[in-house]
Amino acid sequence: MTAHAETPPLESGSRLELFVDEFVIDRLTGATRVLHSPEPQEVAIVYDAPWEGKACHYVTVFQDGPLYRMYYRGLPIIDFTREQTGPEVTCYAESTDGIHWTKPKLGLFESHGSKDNNLVWTGTGAHNFAPFRDANPNCPADQQYKAVAGGPLVALASPDGLHWAKMQEAPVITEGAFDSQNVAFYDTVRGEYRAYVRDFADGVRTIRTCTSPDFLHWTKPEWVGYGDTRKEHLYTNGTTPYFRAPHLFVAFPKRFIPDRVKHPELPPSYAGLSEGVFMSTRDGYNFDRSFMEGWIRPGLDPENWWQRTNGPAWGVVQTGPTELSVYWVEHYENPRHECQLRRGTLRLDGFVSVNAPYAGGELLTKPLTFLGRELVLNYATSAVGSVQVEIQDAAGKPVDDFALAQCPKIYGDEVEHVVSWAGKTDVSTLAGQPVRLRFVLKDADLYSLQFRP
């Protein structure tokens, strides 16, 4: 056990820690990490306006105070031929709950002889316009919203998310292919802007990343890494800071498999399959791809088993006290159906859990230091399941008053449970000291942990 004491402790502070990777995990015994797919819910939007069409894609969703905002590419096409019947445009929708969406009549741009529509941008880069609310505390009032668009990428800004203008005429990021959804955001942890862009490496669609202090001057894009996983076409990247744990970026790329054909009766241009996958990164460059499985599968609907449909929207939002929502495109370029956007739900922090079966299992964390007075867990058990927690010193010895036997069995399903030992919840005497957490699980899932003041 002496090796334990020599392990440099992680500085967890009061951060929310998820199990999307093995960052906090030293050892799992009889337990495994499990990826959870979103549960399909209602159709959020049907793209049935004449300026929207069957090729709507590259959706952005984010929460902006009491309002949820959505932006997406509209592209009317003729069935199968892909002949355009109108220009590419950027459309806008909004919601007060992330569930029920409306397309406001903005009156900004003319289409089909009228401005009575939801068009929010028709200029450079309407093909892949990707906006965000700028979290930079020094952001000027007239640039509270920013976007990247086009290829090469131009920078745009807006005071209200509706009225947009280029920040300068010259492109700001020029190295890349850019021919899908490229994204950018302000990294509040590192105090810089970060972008993720589409490019090709040896003929395979992949991702590059770069940073900027001011959104106009960017570093040279670098190739991201995926560990030792096999190369795959990642058509989009969908990378975003998880809003409850901004030190952690989650990503929902669309995986494209060009050589699979489920509908041979369709034209060759409709070959290929797509689905959403899940990955994460802590440093912004090296992505953890522990889970190569499909995260958003095509499903039972045969009309989603072709080409470039099932593309996840960029963004994840909270739509209830215990609920996250993500979205994905269905029936893309489908001649038999309108293109539409499906909502799916996860529990709060519910991307990945540490799961133990009925026979039981354990999780031991790496040595870590924390700030706070209480340990809060997001967990779920069966009616016979349980969770117990022991706090150990860095060498693996139970700390007095925080041994396993003093922690009553926790059972239920809660996104915020304060752990107690012999009736005490205050762990502040251990703050700043290297400790380990030992979790003993039975028929249970652990989604996240956090030390709180």
| 3-state SS record for 365-420 | ECCEEECCCEEEEEEEEEEEEEEEEEEEECCCCECCCCCHHHCCCECCEEEEEECC
**Cβ neighbour number for residue 63 with a 10 Å cutoff:** 18
Q: Quick one: tokens of 397? A: 């010895």
Same domain flag for 447 and 327: no
CA 270/CA 265 separation, integer angstroms: 10
CA 268/CA 12 separation, integer angstroms: 52
Q: Where in the sequence is the domain holding 361, given as residue range(s)?
A: 2-35+352-452
Same domain flag for 297 and 401: no
Last residue of a domain, one of 347, 382, 407: 347
C-alpha dist (Å) from residue 132 to 136, 158, 184: 11, 10, 8
CA 103/CA 91 separation, integer angstroms: 8
CATH code, 419:
2.60.120.260
Same domain flag for 82 and 153: yes
**Residue-level pLDDT at 452:** 98
Is-contact 273 311, C-beta < 8 A? no
> Can you list the positions of beta strands (E) in 134-253?
145-150, 153-158, 165-166, 183-187, 192-201, 204-212, 222-223, 233-234, 239-242, 245-251
Same domain flag for 218 and 360: no
Q: Which helix (H) or strand (E) holds 3?
A: helix 2-6
Is-contact 57 312, C-beta < 8 A? no
CA 417/CA 420 separation, integer angstroms: 9
3-state secondary structure of 434: coil
Report how many domains make up the chain: 2
Last residue of a domain, one of 296, 317, 347: 347
CA 265/CA 281 separation, integer angstroms: 40
Which segments of the chain have a pLDDT < 70? 1-7, 80
DSSP string, 307-348: TT--PBPB--EEEETTEEEEEEEESTT-TTS--EEEEEEEET
**Residue-level pLDDT at 300:** 97
Same domain flag for 97 and 206: yes
Is-contact 70 92, C-beta < 8 A? yes
**Residue-level pLDDT at 265:** 87
- 394-426 pLDDT, tens digit per residue, is 999 999 999 999 999 999 999 999 999 999 999
Is-contact 343 335, C-beta < 8 A? no
Same domain flag for 197 and 265: yes
Buried b (16+ CB within 10 A) or exposed e, 90-119: bbbbbbeebbebebeebebbebeeeeebbb
**pTM of the predicted model, to two decimals?**
0.96
**Cβ neighbour number for residue 1 with a 10 Å cutoff:** 10
Same domain flag for 166 and 95: yes
**Residue-level pLDDT at 2:** 41
Q: Are strands 222-223 and 25-29 parallel, antiparallel or unpaired?
A: unpaired
CA 363/CA 437 separation, integer angstroms: 8
CA angle 229, 39, 389 (to 5 degrees): 75
Same domain flag for 104 and 199: yes
At residue 123, φ and ψ (nearest 5 deg) are: -90, -150
Q: Which helix (H) or strand (E) holds 4?
A: helix 2-6
**Residue-level pLDDT at 270:** 86
3-state secondary structure of 303: helix
Would you put residue 399 in left (φ > 0), alpha (ψ -120 to 50) or beta? beta
Same domain flag for 236 and 143: yes
Last residue of a domain, one of 279, 313, 347: 347
Same domain flag for 204 and 222: yes
**Residue-level pLDDT at 269:** 82
CATH code, 142:
2.115.10.20
Residue type (1 letter), 254: K
**Residue-level pLDDT at 425:** 99
Closest CA to 383 of 304, 444, 448: 444
Same domain flag for 51 and 110: yes
Same domain flag for 405 and 448: yes
